[in-house]
Chains A and B, each alone.
Chain A
Amino acid sequence: MAAITAPLPTRAAPARRRRTGGRASWVTYLVAFAFVGICVAPVLYIIIGGFRTNSEITTDPSGFPSTWHLSNYLDVLESSIFWRQVGNSAIAGLSTTVGVVVLGVAASFVLARYRFNARGALYALFAAGLMFPMTVAITPLYILIKNLGLMNSLAGIVLPQIAFALPTTIIILVPFLQAIPKEIEEAASIDGASRLGFFFRMVVPLSVPGVVTVGILAFIASWNSYMLPLFVLNDETSYTLPLGVQAFASQYSVDTARVLAFTSLSMIPALVFFSLFERRIVGGLTGAVKG
């Protein structure tokens, strides 16, 4: 960085302006600020709305709270329904993530480092999964889950979520595992490691960055998923947060402020999770685009 931004002969200046060196002008800041505002304003509307009273919202829908009421938020935080849904979402999200990571790494390892006849076909099978969106499969999936006796159970959404996350996972991880230099593998086998020893001692640690990306994507997808829970979870006690938000919004449609508070609180985990791992996700996207 320092080398690039260091003063160079004037002829190189335009290049620096374009990329690393150039200072953004006030126009850039203005546009960036406006765009960020558009992205954030509706979210702020939801959050701030939760601090208002219903009569305020009715008489002045776009105003600020005259006094900031905490009661809507406290009501939600005290309700067992909200926490049960947070728990359900967390269990479903974590189970999905663990399942995707374990199955995905193992299968990607096979596809990346073993040579066997069906390898191409197997890769094509998973890659074809990208063409099969859940929308198409949802009704038979629902019937399958009903027949397996998994209706209203979190397992009924976790298993399909793992399955539908596998194509992306494998497509991201296979190039990652292929990039591990052959020399490391040769050294390991000279030192007496078996293929599986190599897998557990070298591949698993080396693939951590890719695994983290894949895991985050799977977790956020699970946390936000709507269609599958809508079909599989009919019993309110098994609801995950998205279903909970919707049920709450229709049940308390006159109590707008409380709906806004409920909605605000339900987005916090995904936002926190994302802010923590933002670099990883963007990094993973870069890899996926190039791969």
Chain B
Amino acid sequence: MSDTEGESSLTIMTSPEGPSAAGDGARAASSPAPRARRGGRVDWRKHLEIAVLSGPAIVIFVAFVIFPVVMAAYYGFFKWKGYGPPTEFVGLENYVTIFQDATFIDALRHNGFILVMSLVIQGPFAVGLALLLNQKMRGRSLIRVLIFVPYVISEVIVGTGWSLMLQTNGAVNDLLIKLGLESWTVDWLSNPDVAIWSLMVIISWKYIGFAVILFLAGLQSIPEELFEAASIDGASYWQIQRRITLPLLGPTIRIWAFLSIIGSLQLFDLVYIVWGQYVAATAGTSTMATYMVVNGRNAGNYGFGNAVAVVLFIISLVIALTYQRFVLRRDTEGALTEGKK
């Protein structure tokens, strides 16, 4: 490689944050002439490299993520059994059907319940546990591994295990009888008043470890000096937690809440595995996603299923964008402007 080429690559491969960085701006301003002179050849090479390096990722991403999402929107306007091209255009009929279907409204309500309860149950618990576990203690790394176990094993294993334990004659009821709490035994999975709480137990059990680990990671990034300074100023333990730790943990909590909200709206696996396709609706644990699979693919109504997917997507998107606009903004703002300061 010649020196000239090396030099030109310097100009091209400056800070990724672009010309807004002061140094780059100066350099870009000082070197337009040589760049323009060699521009054609260098640009050709550069663009070839860009295409070769990022091309495969773009192709596979567009083909298997973007394209299917777009197609879902298209298929949603058809009555379609899934074979041959969709021909029976029905406009918004599928959407009208969805919102007139009481079982969909139920599913939507369940999603809302799961969303709120996930935040309310897991959030405070996980923050408390993370604060507690962020102390020096014996076996800390073993504890961390063990509380991550439920998150690491698959939904199928979690669902299979819990459904066996929660059966009417399963381990949970048996344990209650042994403890003399026979009156507490319930049909955990089939009683509609109880089932959604059983689902919440399973969900909390599966995902709280993730929240704890995330918060522990967030706590690690708070500079030690802050606590020292505060305690030298006479702040108590609880004052430090409330005034320093929690605010500084804020970004982590907000990102966790975002992941939890999206996860709650998309919930499928655990419900479908524990309750199966026919029982979830009567047990009161169906979600939009299980409704989509049961009334779409499993029933052979692919057009309808896609319309449900679109509704699910729009609801998720609106909530996600609102959340990002009003809650995450102060976090991402810093990240985006970091290079420009």
On A, residues with C-beta under 8 Å from B are 4, 11-15, 17-24, 28-29, 31-32, 35-36, 38-40, 42-43, 45-46, 49, 58, 60-63, 99, 103-104, 106-107, 109-116, 122, 125-126, 129, 131-133, 135-144, 159-160, 162-164, 166-167, 170, 174, 178, 182, 185-186, 189-190, 192-197, 199, 220, 223-227, 231, 241-243, 245-246, 249, 256, 259-260, 263, 266-267, 270-271, 274-275, 278, 282-283, 285-286, 289-291
Contact = CB atoms under 8 A, between A and B. Distances in A.
B16 A178 contact: yes
Contacts of A126: 57, 61
Please list the 8 inter-chain residue pairs (A to B) with the smallest Cβ-Cβ separation, ordered nearest first.
A224-B154, A163-B64, A24-B137, A107-B57, A137-B68, A140-B71, A140-B68, A242-B156
Nearest to B217: A286
A275 B237 contact: no
A20 to B, nearest CB: 6
B171 A45 contact: yes
A104 B53 CA distance: 9
A36 B49 contact: no
Contacts of B268: 135, 227
Contacts of A15: 224, 227-228, 230-232, 240
B232 A132 contact: no
**Chain B interface helix/strand/loop/mixed:** helix
A163 B60 contact: yes
Given A133-B316, A225-B154, 18 more contacts: A12-B232, A18-B237, A24-B135, A32-B132, A39-B209, A136-B313, A136-B316, A137-B72, A139-B302, A143-B302, A163-B60, A190-B6, A194-B9, A224-B155, A226-B269, A246-B156, A278-B144, A285-B213
Contacts of A226: 154-156, 269, 273
B237 A263 contact: no
A133 B216 contact: no
B136 interface: yes
B72 A139 contact: yes
Contacts of B237: 14, 17-18
Contacts of B1: 189, 192-194, 197
Given A139-B296, A194-B1, A42 B135 contact: no
Interface residues of B, number: 114
B221 A39 contact: no
A163 B63 contact: yes
A38 B46 CA distance: 55
Contact of A11 (B49, B224, B232, B240): B232
Nearest to B169: A61
B236 interface: yes
B148 A131 contact: no
A194 B72 CA distance: 43
A227 B268 CA distance: 8
B34 interface: no
A139 B16 contact: no
Contacts of A189: 1, 6-7, 9-10
B165 A116 contact: no
B54 A110 contact: yes
A182 B309 contact: no
A116 B289 contact: no
A139 B60 contact: no
Contacts of A163: 60-61, 63-65
